[in-house]
Each structure stands twice: as structure tokens, then as C-alpha cells.
């Protein structure tokens, strides 16, 4: 019986891979998630029937407690709170790895060198994931104390010093023969890693949180894989590396979409250089408009593209936007949504918010899908987005955002920008789109503006 347990782990790992594979389309994704859950149930079941495991009542109680809390969290979280939720879960996974590695260290006072190394890495990665995720959680929750990026002087140097310290502690832990020193080293590693995680995320601004969450996702996977090396379990190694790879890919996508390197995000340096035109100069010929005028323009449009940005998610205007789209569609207009990779507060977040607002997923187009046909669009409505539609990225090679992938709304016949003011986006540069001859500004709160436009269209 015991010999079959590794086989069950293998099947679980295969189910995880199939589950992720099914995530390649919204049609099969639900099935994919169920496959993953089945794999997990199998892995847990196989572990429980392992004849050498004792103390079942403690295991039983804790399994039920964790399940109850997990269900409660998952059922009550609003879709807008998804980034915080994922951040929190990342942190829990990380700290679980730290605890398991510590428990394994305590169980035997003569571990082999590679196991000690894996224990050290588990403790390091797991703890950094935990403390980093908790800070990210606080930033995403927009607690006042954490809102502003905060960095000590010489932060990078301090971090490098901590990393060096951890490396030395790991080396010491692996080579020493004394059990007591090994335990002390482990505790010191965990303490340093706690501080390191905080220092790594504190200096990062709210706009860069999608990158941080992706990175923490990757770390939580790697922590799991390291724990797999500690207890010689292939199921952990496979799942951990799958998640690690997934997080790294998402991190790369986010960085590319923001036109920043990973180091650049982590060490808080904005893309330097580049001559920035003054806002007054750029915004000399901006024209503003009203809800009634917009209603007239939309009335004659064949194809309308809505470009939602971070601001729409913050204003929670997705339901109002859905109503506007439904109204236009009932008049025979073709309405689509163009989603930039960093439109929401985490990768793919905007898609979830629009899906929740009952928008069909085939209406949600990626940047690369919509850009080639942008010149056939009659009206592009930009809501709460700025940098991701800034044509400087394409036209001005000296701009700080030069080369950043953007949605080419400036090529549409008419662009309506709904925005509170002409204030710059996260990149801190003016947007020449607003002053283009085909652009109209509608200064208002995102949700109120859309409601007004709906009212104006109905009144036509």
C-alpha cells in the first residue's frame, strides 16, 4: 500500500499539469480547475493513508479548520478585492513552507547536506514570500501607512547586505555538525528573510503591484518546490516548479506591458532620461465635451471600442459601462473592449471585473488583436486609462515610455477620454493624445460620466 503512494503523487502532478493546460481557453478552464482540485484531493488522501503517519486527530482538526477559513475567504471576497486575496494566499503558502522546513529540521539531528540546504532555501523563500505578500496586501488594501513607497537610504545596499548575511548563515548551517547551531541558524535566516521581504516590497508603488503579486506567486511556488527537496517528495517539486514558472511568465508580461525591467521595478527606479515636453505646451489645444455631445457622436457610430483602465476598476464603473454597451448594441452598434495587460490591479483583473459585470468574454480583445483594426473604429472611449493609450510610446523615441506597448486609440476616428482632469498617469508625463484633433475630453468621475452618457442617449 505504502509503495503505491508515490504513484498517487504522480497522478496528482499529472492532474495539475492537465488542469493548467485546460486553462488555455475560457471554455475548458472550469474543467481545468476541477482537475487541479481533484489532484489536490488525491495527494492529500494519499498522504493520509501513509501508514507511518500518526496523530490523526490533530491532522483532522487542522484540515477542517483550514478548509473552513479558506471557503469563507473565497466565498466572501469581492472581485475587486482579488489582488489582495491572491496576495494573502501567496503569503500563507510561503509561511507554510517555512514551518514545514523547520519541523523537518527539528525531527532529525543528522540531516544530509543537500537536505539542510533545501531547508535553508525553504525558510528563506517561504519567509520572503510571506512578509513581502503581507506588505503587498497592505498596499493593495490601501492602508494609509503603506500607501507611499518607502525606502531607507541606501536601501539596495542594505538589501544586498541582508542577502549576503543569509547566504553566509545557510553556508554555516549546512557545514556545522551541531544540531543546536543549525536550529539557531535557521531561526536567524527566517528573521533576516522577514526583514528582507518587507524591504523588498515597501519601496514599490501601488501602480507596480501587479508585478509584485506575480513575483510573489512565483516565489510561493519555488518555496513549495524547495520544501519538496526537503522531504524528498516529487509532487511538491513538480507543482512548485509549475507555479514558479507561471509566476515568472506573468511577471515578464507585466514588466513588458509597463515598459520596465524587473530590476527597475524592484529597486524603484523610473526609466530615466528623455526630454519631457511641458504639460502646458502639450495641452494647448485640448477640447472638452459634454454627455449630450457624446450621445450624439455615439448615435452615428458603427463600431465602438471601450478602453477601460485602472481608473475604471477603482471607480467600480464596470457595471455602468456594461449598461452603456448594451444600450449601444441594442441600437445596432458593434461594441468591443480593448484590454491592456496592466489595465487592472493584477494580471487579467479587468477581464474578471468585466466578466462579473456580465460582459461576454469574446468581446474582450487583447491589445494585439485590436490595434491592427483601430483605424476602422468610429469611436474609442477611454475610461480611467492614461499611459496605456499615450501615443508618445510609439511616436517619440525620447519619451520615458518609448517602446511601451499601447492601445492605439489615437488612430480611431474619434477618441473620447473620460478623466477627472489632465493630471498625468503613473509615468508622470503629459499625454499628447488629449490634444489631438480627433480627441475630446470629458472631465468627470468614471462612473458618473458613463451614467450621464447613458441618460443622454436615452433622451435622444
- Closer residue to another protein, CB minimum distance, 408 or 452: 408
Contact 130, 170 (CB under 8 A): no
Which of the residues 358, 368, 378, 387 is marked catalytic? 387
Distance CA 244, CA 445 (A): 39
User: Of residues 136-165, which lie at the interface with another protein (CB under 8 A)?
Assistant: none
Instruction: Answer yes or no whether residue 194 interacts with another protein by CB under 8 A.
Output: no
CB of 41 to another protein, least distance (A): 4
Cα 457 versus chain centre, distance:
36
Distance CA 268, CA 91 (A): 22
The 238-267 site mask, x for binding another protein (CB under 8 A), equals xxxxxxxxxx-xx--x--------------
**108 burial class (0-12, 13-18, 19+ CB within 10 angstroms)?**
exposed
**Integer Cα distance of 102 and 105 in angstroms:** 5
Q: Is residue 5 near another protein by the rule CB under 8 A?
A: yes
Q: Is 272 in the site for another protein (CB under 8 A)?
A: no
From the list 338-346, 389-397, 406-414, 422-430, the region that binds another protein by CB under 8 A is 338-346
Grid-cell match 529540521, residue found:
105
- Closer to another protein by CB, 323 or 356: give it: 356
Piece of 75-83, 152-160, 305-313, 404-412 that binds another protein (CB under 8 A): 75-83
Among 79, 277, 279, 436, binds another protein (CB under 8 A): 79
Non-local CB neighbours of 282 within 8 Å, separated by 6+ positions: 430, 431, 432, 434, 435
Q: Name the minimum Å distance from CB 210 to another protein.
A: 9
Least gap, CB of 94 to another protein (angstroms): 9
Minimum separation from the CB atom of position 83 to another protein (A): 8
User: Alpha carbon 209 to chain centroid distance?
Assistant: 7
In angstroms, give the least distance from the CB of 10 to another protein. 10
Residue 214 contacts another protein per CB under 8 A: yes
Burial 123-156 (b: 16+ CB within 10 A, else e): bbbbbbbbbbbbbbbbbbeeeeebeeebeeeebb
In 3D space, the residue among 35, 7, 37, 4 whose CA is nearest the CA of residue 19 turns out to be: 35
Minimal distance, residue 101 CB to another protein, in Å = 8
70 binds another protein (CB under 8 A): yes
| 346 touches another protein (CB under 8 A) | yes
Contact status: 131 vs another protein (CB under 8 A): no
DSSP 311-356: HHHHHT-HHHHHHHHHHHHHTT-EEEEEE-TTSSSSTTHHHHHHHH
Residue closer to another protein, measured from CB, 63 or 395: 63
CB nearer to another protein: pick between 107 and 278: 107
| CA 169/CA 120 separation, integer angstroms | 9
Q: Is 309 in the site for another protein (CB under 8 A)?
A: no
Q: Which C-beta is closer to another protein: that of 134 or that of 295?
A: 134
Between 213 and 412, CB nearer to another protein: 213
How many whole angstroms separate alpha carbon 332 and alpha carbon 237?
53
Residues 17-46 vs another protein: string with x where CB under 8 A? x-xxx-xxxxx-xx-xxx-xxxxxx-xxx-
Is residue 387 flagged as an active site residue?
Answer: yes
How far, in Å, CA of 195 to CA of 30, rounded?
39
Is residue 73 a contact residue for another protein (CB under 8 A)? Answer: yes
Nearer Cβ to another protein, position 95 or 417?
95
Quote the least distance from Cβ 226 to another protein, whole Å. Answer: 10
Shortest distance, CB of residue 123 to another protein, whole angstroms?
12
Nearer to another protein, 11 or 151 (CB): 11
Of 110, 66, 103, 72, the residue nearest 227 (C-alpha)? 103
Give the integer Cα–Cα distance in Å for 341 and 349: 9
Burial annotation 335-345 (CB, 10 A radius, 16+ → b, else e): bbbbbbbbbbb
203 in contact with another protein (CB under 8 A): no
Pattern 42-61, another protein, x by CB under 8 A: -xxx-xx-xxxxxxxxxxxx
246 burial type by CB count under 10 A (0-12 exposed, 13-18 middle, 19+ buried):
middle
Give how many residues touch another protein by CB under 8 A: 130
Task: Return d(Cα 434, Cα 170) in angstroms, integer.
Answer: 55
Compute the least distance from the CB of residue 457 to another protein, in Å: 21
What residues numbered 362-401 form the site for another protein, per CB under 8 A? 362, 364, 366
Q: Which span sits near another protein by CB under 8 A: 80-88, 290-298, 405-413, 432-440?
A: 80-88
Residue 85 in the binding site for another protein (CB under 8 A): yes
Residues known to be catalytic: 387
Amino acid at each position: 500500500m505504502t509503495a503505491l503512494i508515490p504513484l498517487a503523487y504522480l497522478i496528482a502532478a499529472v492532474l495539475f499539469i492537465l488542469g493548467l493546460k485546460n486553462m488555455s481557453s475560457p471554455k475548458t478552464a472550469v474543467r481545468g480547475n476541477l482537475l487541479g482540485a481533484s489532484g489536490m484531493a488525491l495527494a492529500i488522501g494519499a498522504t493520509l493513508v501513509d501508514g507511518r503517519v500518526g496523530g490523526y486527530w490533530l491532522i483532522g482538526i487542522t484540515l477542517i479548520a483550514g478548509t473552513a477559513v479558506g471557503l469563507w475567504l473565497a466565498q466572501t471576497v469581492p472581485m475587486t478585492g482579488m489582488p489582495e486575496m491572491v496576495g494573502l494566499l501567496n503569503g500563507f503558502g510561503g509561511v507554510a513552507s517555512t514551518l514545514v522546513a523547520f519541523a523537518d529540521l527539528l525531527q532529525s539531528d543528522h540531516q544530509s547536506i543537500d537536505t539542510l540546504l533545501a531547508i535553508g532555501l525553504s525558510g528563506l523563500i517561504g519567509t520572503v514570500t510571506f512578509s513581502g505578500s503581507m506588505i503587498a496586501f497592505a498596499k493593495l488594501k490601501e492602508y494609509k501607512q503603506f500607501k507611499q513607497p518607502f525606502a531607507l537610504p541606501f536601501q539596495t545596499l542594505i538589501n544586498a547586505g541582508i542577502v549576503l548575511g543569509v547566504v553566509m548563515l545557510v553556508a554555516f548551517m549546512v557545514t556545522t555538525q551541531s544540531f543546536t547551531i543549525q536550529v539557531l541558524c535557521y531561526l536567524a535566516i527566517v528573521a533576516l528573510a522577514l526583514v528582507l521581504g518587507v524591504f523588498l516590497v515597501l519601496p514599490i508603488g501601488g501602480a507596480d503591484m501587479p508585478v509584485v503579486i506575480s513575483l510573489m506567486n512565483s516565489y510561493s511556488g519555488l518555496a513549495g518546490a524547495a520544501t519538496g527537496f526537503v522531504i524528498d517528495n516529487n509532487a511538491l517539486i513538480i507543482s512548485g516548479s509549475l507555479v514558479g514558472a507561471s509566476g515568472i511568465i506573468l511577471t515578464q508580461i507585466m514588466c513588458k506591458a509597463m515598459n520596465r525591467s524587473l530590476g527597475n521595478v524592484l529597486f524603484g527606479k523610473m526609466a530615466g532620461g528623455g526630454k519631457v515636453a511641458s504639460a502646458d505646451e502639450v495641452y494647448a489645444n485640448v477640447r472638452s465635451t459634454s454627455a449630450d455631445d457624446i450621445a450624439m457622436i455615439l448615435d452615428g457610430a458603427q463600431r465602438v471600442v471601450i478602453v477601460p483602465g485602472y481608473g475604471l476598476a477603482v471607480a467600480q464603473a464596470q457595471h455602468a459601462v456594461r449598461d452603456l454597451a448594451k444600450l449601444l448594441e441594442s441600437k445596432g452598434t458593434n461594441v468591443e473592449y480593448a484590454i491592456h495587460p496592466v489595465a487592472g490591479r493584477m494580471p487579467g483583473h479587468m477581464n474578471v471585473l468585466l466578466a462579473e459585470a456580465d460582459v461576454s468574454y469574446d468581446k474582450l480583445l487583447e491589445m494585439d488583436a485590436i490595434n491592427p483594426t483601430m483605424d476602422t473604429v468610429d469611436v474609442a472611449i477611454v475610461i480611467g486609462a492614461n499611459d496605456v493609450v499615450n501615443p508618445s510610446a510609439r511616436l517619440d523615441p525620447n519619451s520615458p515610455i518609448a517602446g511601451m506597448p499601447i492601445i492605439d486609440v489615437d488612430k480611431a476616428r474619434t477618441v473620447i477620454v473620460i478623466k477627472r482632469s489632465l493630471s498625468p498617469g503613473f509615468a508622470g508625463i503629459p499625454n499628447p493624445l488629449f490634444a489631438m484633433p480627433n480627441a475630446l475630453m470629458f472631465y468627470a468621475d468614471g462612473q458618473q460620466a458613463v451614467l450621464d452618457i447613458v441618460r443622454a442617449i436615452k433622451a435622444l
